[in-house]
Structure 1
Amino acid sequence: MGAPMARRLVEAGHEVTTWRRSDGVPVATAVDGADLIITMLSDPAAVREVLTAALPGLRPGATVVEMSTIGPGAVRELRALLPASVGLVDAPVLGSVGPAAEGTLTVLAGGDVAGWREVLGVFGSVRECGPLGSGAAMKIAVMSALVPAQVLLAETFAYGEAHGVDRNALIDVLSGTPLGTLAERLRVPSPETRYSLAHATKDLELGAWQGATMATAARARMREALAAGLGERDLTAIAGHTGGGAPRSRAVPLNLSTIPATNGMYSHAVRAGDTLYISGQAAFDEHGNIVGAGSMEAQAEHVFQVVSRILADQGAGFEDVVFIRTYLTDMEERAALGRVRRKYITGTPPASTTVEVSKLFMPGLLLEMDLIVALPR
């Protein structure tokens, strides 16, 4: 997306410096002296990493326009990260590589765009959504409808196939309904990746909330496709994956972009049927720094917050937790842990085991917790 967007800025007469992580040039050098910095990256972690590295090169009075799909929470984190003298606008887009090249994207802008409306107009139509973060929220809300709708159609095709309904005939009938445009998109899956299945899954994860039952079911189907190796394929590949004979993965790994990334040697959680196994969670941030150093209550609060996000992603809550196992480096701290735990475990308590260990995997960690959850049907 970034390359055709940069070309449009050049064609419009703007002086443009482009940068990507493979360039080998420090991003702080690339942004040095720029009035406007535009980011178009894959996920919240990538945006935080790049803008943190760019901080030394950002001049007072510059504006960052964040055009990736990262959600309103990540936009708030960026506002806290950037100096007060640097402006911030969130402006994710609707559209893929083709519309980016043609200048027909829809830009969903949040924050004060008064000085940059003309520049953003180079990419397509600009819709001002409100205060900072509202553009990011609008983008996630839209994708929370569009992506599950395509999964629904894929399952509709699978039902038709199982009952002898010709797929093209079914799409012809659907073309006369409000679902017609999406159905046509799935008639022949795109050979080029315009909107990857991995990015679509990430967008659904960013919009996870406990009441989103349809989006939760769609995420489960999408993660099966990811486990089958379709992450870099276009989202329309879901239509071929979801069929009567499509293999169903017994174990579906879950790695949320809204919590610190793993080291690649484990997943945050794994879903097997209606059971969710949550890996040991500990109090560290996306940079690997300890959260709440020396405080059991602060570390426990962080762990329970992370677990709550994983549960919400699967349409569950703490009332669905079956078993908790907690490792403490000092059993004398169990009362402090209990004060935090009682804020989250308010009903009938689950089965639990608490053990004292000499140390955990990172110096400074005081506890680690893993859980087993019975997911709502």
Structure 2
Amino acid sequence: MIAFLGLGYMGAPMARRLVNAGHTVTVWNRTPKDLPGATVAATPAEAVTGADLVVTMLADPDAVESVVRAALPGLRPGTVVVEMSTIGPDAVARIRRSLPPGTGLVDAPVLGSVAPAREGNLVVLAGGSPEDLARCRAVLAVFGTVREVGRTGAGAALKLALMSALVPAQVMLAENLAYAERMGVDRAAFLDVLAGTPLGALVQRLRPAIEEEPSETRYALGLAAKDLRLATAGVGAEQTVAAAARDLLDEAADAGLGSEDLTAVIRWAAGRRSGPRSGKIAERINPATVPATNGWYSHAVRFGDLLFVSGQVALDAGGQIVGRDDIARQSEYIFENLGRILANQGSSFGDVIHIKTFVTDMDRLADYGNVRARYVTGEPPSSTTVEVSRLFHPDVLLEVEVIAAIA
């Protein structure tokens, strides 16, 4: 039996492949999710009870270590834990020390995104003892091509080294495209010529984002930033190019792009590096990452070096309320959308100079304030908060608008 812990962007299609291959699978996810053909466990310990292999596919080292600790009561001697997240060799070593005697460990992070995960075309970078690798080799092959790269921790180290090359290359191309356009270079000519160089494969992968076509999240920008933070720690501190890419991705993630695909860095670089615009033309802004308006207003208007963002409310793309009678959830949804609008113009909450909030019940203001404080940090901007008897929708509890400076 296989226990699979973590059903995120990558975990869900990988667990599904195990089920489709005929394995008996028990799954656990922090937010409960069903997976047809698999048993759903309430806790990590319940999921791993009786398992021969335990696969973890989670966001970061803290998440993996926390889940492994929670699973320990259910582990039995002879079980092999297969850690497939990107967490680095130091975290792998800590997990190795936390496992009970007789438990094996293989670190097997993957190269590839959501589509290869669905299709079984990932590259699995596996490190571990020959005995542990032999026990999980057939299962890992369900996910794609397996590269056995050495001792425990070798897979995690190789993954960080590879990401130190692959992610900065995408960030470099995003900034280079913005630079070429500022120089007046024709975009189509630039891309066509670049496609014939060794960077051609990267250009083709990024073309949909460059041409502003909608894209599913294959590799979240926030996870890419996390990977580079791991890669530039310790012995990686001398990687100056990777560190610069890390900082730019951290900016973009802080501005609300963390859950979007890494290709969103193209839009971020274009906005962030565009410089001051003429104050004589008002530009209407309606990012594709925010639910469309009803046509009576724009999400924002840019005028010179100022961005005026319309009042945002917690209605989704279908016009349905998000967080009915829950002002904290509505606040979170509003600030996520504000972040996306700001990021579209190369701005962030650190550039906000004024916030205006309309709330239907001042008694709930503390819940709103707690959410706002997570997004608006440091020295606060000017602010106005007004209690109103009602807003345009009966279930809308608040509306928030901002004005931001564009550097």
CA contact (8 A) 2:171 2:266 kept: yes
Distance (Å, rounded) in 1 between the aligned partners of 2:101 and 2:82:
15
Which ranges of structure 2 fall in alignment gaps of 5 or more residues?
A: 1-9, 33-40, 275-344, 352-369, 379-407
Distance (Å, rounded) in 2 between the aligned partners of 1:75 and 1:91:
10
Counterpart in 2 of 1:338? none
CA contact (8 A) 1:224 1:248 kept: no
Deviations 1:36-94 (A, max 9, x none): 00000000000011110000000111000000000000000000111121100000000
Distance (Å, rounded) in 1 between the aligned partners of 2:43 and 2:27:
12
- Residue 216 of structure 2 corresponds to residue 207 of structure 1: no
Distance (Å, rounded) in 2 between the aligned partners of 1:67 and 1:27:
16
| Partner residue of 1:196 out of 210, 220, 224 | 220
Partner SS for 1:191: coil
- Residue 104 of structure 2 corresponds to residue 87 of structure 1: yes
Counterpart in 1 of 2:164? 144
- Residue 252 of structure 2 corresponds to residue 221 of structure 1: no
Q: How many corresponding residue pairs?
A: 259
Distance (Å, rounded) in 2 between the aligned partners of 1:165 and 1:193:
29
Counterpart in 2 of 1:239? 266
Partner SS for 1:234: coil
Counterpart in 2 of 1:120? 140
Deviations 1:181-202 (A, max 9, x none): 1122222225210000000000
Superposition map of 1:1-377 within 5 A:
1-23=10-32, 25-112=42-129, 113-189=133-209, 191-208=215-232, 209-243=236-270, 244-245=273-274, 246-247=345-346
**TM-score using structure 2 length:** 0.61
Counterpart in 2 of 1:321? none
Counterpart in 2 of 1:373? none
Deviations 1:247-271 (A, max 9, x none): 366969xxxxxxxxxx99789x99x
Partner SS for 1:114: helix
Amino acid in the other structure paired with 1:140: L
Counterpart in 1 of 2:356? none
Distance (Å, rounded) in 1 between the aligned partners of 2:67 and 2:237:
31
Amino acid in the other structure paired with 1:139: K
Partner SS for 2:63: helix
Distance 1:180 1:193, change over 3 A: same
Which ranges of structure 1 fall in alignment gaps of 5 or more residues?
A: 253-262, 271-377
Distance (Å, rounded) in 2 between the aligned partners of 1:199 and 1:172:
30
Distance (Å, rounded) in 2 between the aligned partners of 1:40 and 1:167:
39
Deviations 1:305-362 (A, max 9, x none): xxxxxxxxxxxxxxxxxxxxxxxxxxxxxxxxxxxxxxxxxxxxxxxxxxxxxxxxxx
Distance (Å, rounded) in 2 between the aligned partners of 1:22 and 1:30:
14
Counterpart in 2 of 1:352? none
CA contact (8 A) 2:54 2:81 kept: yes
Distance (Å, rounded) in 2 between the aligned partners of 1:188 and 1:153:
14
Distance (Å, rounded) in 1 between the aligned partners of 2:17 and 2:224:
25
The RMSD of aligned alpha carbons is 2.2
Partner SS for 1:117: helix
Distance 1:36 1:187, change over 3 A: same
Partner SS for 2:237: coil
CA positional deviation for 1:138: 0.5
Counterpart in 2 of 1:350? none
Distance (Å, rounded) in 2 between the aligned partners of 1:8 and 1:247:
39
Partner SS for 1:235: coil
CA contact (8 A) 2:50 2:74 kept: yes
Amino acid in the other structure paired with 1:117: R
Q: Percent identity?
A: 59
Partner SS for 1:228: helix
Amino acid in the other structure paired with 1:2: G
Deviations 1:277-316 (A, max 9, x none): xxxxxxxxxxxxxxxxxxxxxxxxxxxxxxxxxxxxxxxx
CA positional deviation for 1:3: 1.3
